[in-house]
Structure 1
Amino acid sequence: MGAKRVLVIDDLEANRYILRKIVADGSQYQVLEAATGAEGLELILQGVDVVILDINLPDMTGFELIQKAERRLGPKRLPAIINISATFVSGKDKATGLNVGARAYLTHPINPDELIATIGSLMKSNTRLQRVERQRDWAEARTEQISKEKIMLERFMRSFSHDLRSPLAAATMATGLMLRRPTRRTDELLKIVEDNLRRVDSMVANLLDISHVSIGGGIKLSGERIDLAAWIQDSIGTLGLQVSNPLSLELEGALGEVVWDTTAFLRILENLVGNAAKHGVAEQPIRIALSRAEQRVRLSVSNAGSFPVEVLNNLATPYFISTRSDTKGWGLGLPIVKALCESFGGEVGFRNEDHRAVVEIEVPASLD
């Protein structure tokens, strides 16, 4: 940290010399000088800690200088000011100085001990004020952040409730139909119930996982050795039955074997494909590309359309809902993808490219 800066503003060179000697001798302060209010104002704007200010300057009064500095800097950034007078000053003048921003008053002849003690006291006061202001600024920022999180949580709960009703309603209708007409208890209706209950289970699992991650926990993974190309082809075949968009799979080069938690990586894949189907252009292909470079595997999932600019930096934020919609939100899918990727030791990125919304992840080929 550099030396504290003390500015002496006085039109008399002899006074400046005396004040400089008092302040500089035996102290760690850097002393600056100005002979006019205009010169002093320029130095104040550059940043000083304490100003020793003569109230009678050739171009303006000390009171006017304080007011100009406050208008330029604002009251929070105004340095501590000691008003100096060559003669006895009235209580009215002292009050005027204090009212416009001065913190102390001294008169010539200056007592060196009193001046140094006053400067030291003001320096300590500045430090305390700065600490209080930092704490206040932190509290204000935290309050604003909590307010934003509250709004996002409320929007998310509306979105989550909306999304949860759909599979529950479908399962309820199917079971109600089977109860009213037992003869219609077909495999098709049972499949509807099973599929929709699985959707509910997946949504609840995502919610529990992201809550666990939010309080500092991680997602535990268990690795198994698999043939990556065969596994991804089987998984895409199954996912293709769950979305209306056609899925296009591109395998680049030799993928070989990986040691992964296949359940966790399937959740990554399901969330990315599901998100692309939900927010992309209906019936347009969802492209899935997989490549490998030594011990890193890259997966890219893209759909026709684009991420709104306002959400690009918040896609992996839990509970984030675009202000354009109170119900159709980004939910927990992408935050779960981010959390799972990080558990793998990887990373995730989002971008718009060639009229497509792209999510790209990169993870190690082995959990070992």
Structure 2
Amino acid sequence: MSPSSAPRLFSEKEVTRHCTKDSCWVLLGTRVYDVTGFLRMHPGGEALILRRSGKDVSGEMEGPPHRHSENARRWMEQYYIGELDRDEAQTLRERRKSPEKTEGKTEEKKTEEKKKEVEVEEEESSPYSRCSSVDLDKDLVDWRKPLAWQVGYLGEKYDTWVHQPVDRPIRLFGNPFLEASTKTSWYWVPVVWLPIVIYLSWHCYTTLAQETTRVVFNSDHSVLVHKYSFPLLFVMGWFLWSFIEYCIHRFVFHMKPPAHNYYLITIHFLLHGQHHKSPFDGSRLVFPPGLASIVVGVFYLFLHHTLPEVLGMSVFVGGLCGYVVYDMIHYYLHYGSPKRGSYLYSLKAYHVKHHFEHQRAGFGITSTFWDYPFNTVIPDEKF
């Protein structure tokens, strides 16, 4: 639906009929939205929307318990399909109250109403073109072309633009091979890394079981490292990864590139900006194994030169497992439907707030632990 075209009109009866997972509509005042495609993404779970399908959700948007941000409202406009026909709805209610008034209709009136019914049926059987908040002619970038080489020219407008999310795919590069290399299905993360985690865990445990690994303090003092210390070293690695996860997300992914630096803006967009612009692009929610291997390699080299070989490897494998869990949880926070009241439910709500309202806070993904000592906890809402 183009912004200049007249909006479609729907009766209240039409809106209330769309109350299933396959077709879910809601009202915001007199505006009608088809939110079927948003059900899986909703941080509160699809059940919350389904219970309000066909109804006005203005009160829920204002809160409590949650006042939706301007970005959330802007996001909702992508699902706008038309307006509620108040006159038609009022006429329908009057006819229900006074059915005898319809008996004296002229044949011409009946024919006209029959035609309207046919038009409504045709509209309901055809897919609607959802209105997008991206105006292809007026947006700051040309969405018809690859974005990677355009965003650097946005300058001081980049930070605001990139933190106004949209529900549409992003094409970064024109070259098909280069573009494909930036996309990864979620299952490749466990397929590539879990066999390595399992093998290295077995290797470290069996090596420690030989009871030949000792931590040497000086020529006179050394301590034998028992095989039962492996779980502790593994957990230490996982904990260390959680800190690295926080630091990368906060200081690298959320660096604010200088407005005059084309290259840093471009790098930021490629690393993380594109994810904030299109947060539900399922092909870019996990790290491509090639890119991840660079971070994994640096992590391994650091531990290899810091700790004795088997100890360093034991900590490393714990960190690697933590990374796999991080990527899987991140994907689930965007597309999963955790049970209300569960830990993952609270994490999902926390992460969605990070995307839509508090981009300079809430950097923890698998846990909010590190947000507390670094004072980046997303504040509770006040009404």
Shorter chain as denominator, the TM-score bin is under 0.3
TM normalised by structure 1 equals 0.26
Question: Larger Rg: 1 or 2?
Answer: 1
TM normalised by structure 2 equals 0.25
Q: Which structure: greater strand fraction?
A: 1
Structure with greater contact order relative to length (CA < 8 Å, sep ≥ 6): 2
